[in-house]
């Protein structure tokens, strides 16, 4: 006997052969539940800013020319759409109120964060966080006033923070869905 994909109730015997739900209510509820659990893409605050570059071996590249890009020269940056269209790995030039905390080597081979990373993730709950290109680090994205960046050791974890004069690689491999909260 066929059952509803949402509530597992038996489907009526006269239901179409391709029917998946017992009612419109279950179909809509199933769709809404899937939408709330699906990871979102990059926050619009990042996508809407024309501060995108591509990168080769962690060096920023202008999406339009293929030459090296500069983190201080906006003429070498592109829109998200233009940078994505190249098919090359993406990067975002920090500034204009956007910053990033870079945690290298904080994930084990199973993707489980170390204690220091767990504390930071709890503190920045609701922030957009993605896995770094290595698969072992995290990038916590947020809003930040332009200031000098820093590198520190905290609870055995190396922490880097930048809000200007740098670019960060973007993987779109979402670790924690969210928005850009203050850093």
CB 71 within 8 A of CB 148: no
Q: Is 105 left (phi over 0), alpha (psi -120 to 50) or beta?
A: left
- Residue 174 host element (H or E): strand 174-176
**Active site annotation includes 5:** no
Output the CA torsion sign for 102, 55, 85, 93: positive
Annotated active-site residue in 6, 55, 80, 102? 102
Annotated active-site residue in 45, 139, 172, 177? 139
Output the CA torsion sign for 80, 140, 177, 179: negative
Annotated active-site residue in 125, 160, 172, 177? 160
- What's the pLDDT score for residue 11? 86
- What's the pLDDT score for residue 36? 53
- What's the pLDDT score for residue 12? 85
pTM of the model: 0.77
141 burial class (0-12, 13-18, 19+ CB within 10 angstroms)?
buried
- What's the pLDDT score for residue 162? 97
- What's the pLDDT score for residue 7? 80
- What's the pLDDT score for residue 166? 96
**Active site annotation includes 104:** yes
**Active site annotation includes 108:** no
- What's the pLDDT score for residue 56? 93
Write out the chain's pLDDT in tens, 183 residues: 788 887 888 888 888 888 888 888 887 777 776 655 444 679 999 999 999 999 998 899 999 999 999 999 999 999 999 999 999 999 999 999 999 999 999 999 989 999 999 999 999 999 999 999 999 999 999 999 999 999 999 999 999 999 999 999 999 999 999 999 999
**Active site annotation includes 73:** no
CB 78 within 8 A of CB 63: yes
Annotated active-site residue in 5, 45, 104, 177? 104
């Amino acid at each position: 006997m066929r059952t509803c994909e949402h509530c597992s109730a038996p489907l009526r015997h006269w239901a179409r052969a391709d029917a998946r739900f017992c009612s419109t209510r279950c179909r809509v509820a199933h769709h809404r539940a899937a939408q709330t659990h699906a990871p979102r893409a990059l926050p619009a605050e990042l996508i809407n800013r024309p501060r995108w570059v591509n990168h080769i071996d962690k060096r920023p590249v202008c999406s339009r020319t293929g030459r090296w890009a500069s983190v201080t020269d906006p003429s070498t940056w592109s829109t998200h759409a233009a940078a994505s269209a190249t098919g090359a790995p993406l990067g975002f030039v920090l500034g204009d109120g956007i910053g990033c905390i870079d945690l290298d080597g904080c994930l084990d081979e199973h993707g489980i964060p170390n204690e220091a990373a767990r504390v930071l993730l709890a503190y920045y709950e609701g922030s957009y966080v993605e896995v770094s290109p290595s698969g072992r680090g995290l990038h916590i994205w947020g809003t930040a006033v332009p200031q000098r960046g820093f590198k520190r050791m905290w609870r055995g974890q190396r922490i880097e923070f930048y809000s200007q004069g740098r670019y960060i690689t973007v993987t779109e491999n979402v670790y924690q869905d969210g928005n850009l909260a203050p850093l």
